[in-house]
Chains A and B, each alone.
Chain A
């Protein structure tokens, strides 16, 4: 499995501001994804981070609110823009290698006040 790190691990932010979350993998991976896990809930896919092209967003998530970058095969960022209390959640990146399994980063716990 890959070693996945996320920064920051947690943050408390004011409404209306933006936060960029970083995901770093210790080896090149084909696929990277961003999920959201609201308190006590399941994981919801936000988008697939495509290397060298625009991310593919799931229904209900838009690029203006959750811009994503993936400049190479080991790194991706997710920005949560113009935050509101409803954005309070855990944001997790995950990685998958072709036909292999998918593994999750430790998550970023975001609280918006």
Chain B
């Protein structure tokens, strides 16, 4: 079955810096890769996703890149703000709307 590795487990940045979180997946059949943000005590919130027919997707300060050959994808957050502090999870599935396999998460801390 699918296995998703996520790095780093913790990331501390200064406000205004960029943050990058990387994930690798094992199953080449996976073709949907969402990212979730989970604040303390809250449910995971979908922040951005990418499908296998796209190499990069941006939404304001957030971008995701996908390298299908290398089987890895990354989340990029620019101009970080204290409210970006949260746990970020990457995930993979065979198609959008189907069961997700999650990475172990990255705790991002943005200090002002």
Hey, which bits of chain A sit against chain B, CB under 8 A? 30-31, 33, 41-45, 48, 58-59, 92, 94, 96-107
Contacts and interface: CB of A to CB of B under 8 A. Distances in A.
A96 B96 contact: yes
Interface string B94-112: 0111111111110000000
B97 A30 contact: yes
> Which one of B44, B45, B89, B100 has the greatest number of beta carbons of chain A within 10 Å?
B44
Contacts, number: 56
Contact of B49 (A30, A43, A97, A101): A101
A86 B38 CA distance: 23
A97 B95 CA distance: 11
B61 interface: no
A95 to B, nearest CB: 9
Contact of B97 (A92, A99, A105, A106): A99
Interface of B is mostly: loop
B46 A101 contact: yes
Interface residues of B, number: 20
Contacts of A107: 43
A104 B44 contact: yes
Contact of B44 (A33, A41, A43, A59): A43
Contacts of B34: 101-102
B43 A43 contact: no
A86 B98 CA distance: 27
B60 to A, nearest CB: 17
B102 A102 contact: no
**Lowest 5 A-B CB distances belong to which pairs?**
A96-B97, A104-B43, A43-B102, A42-B102, A42-B104
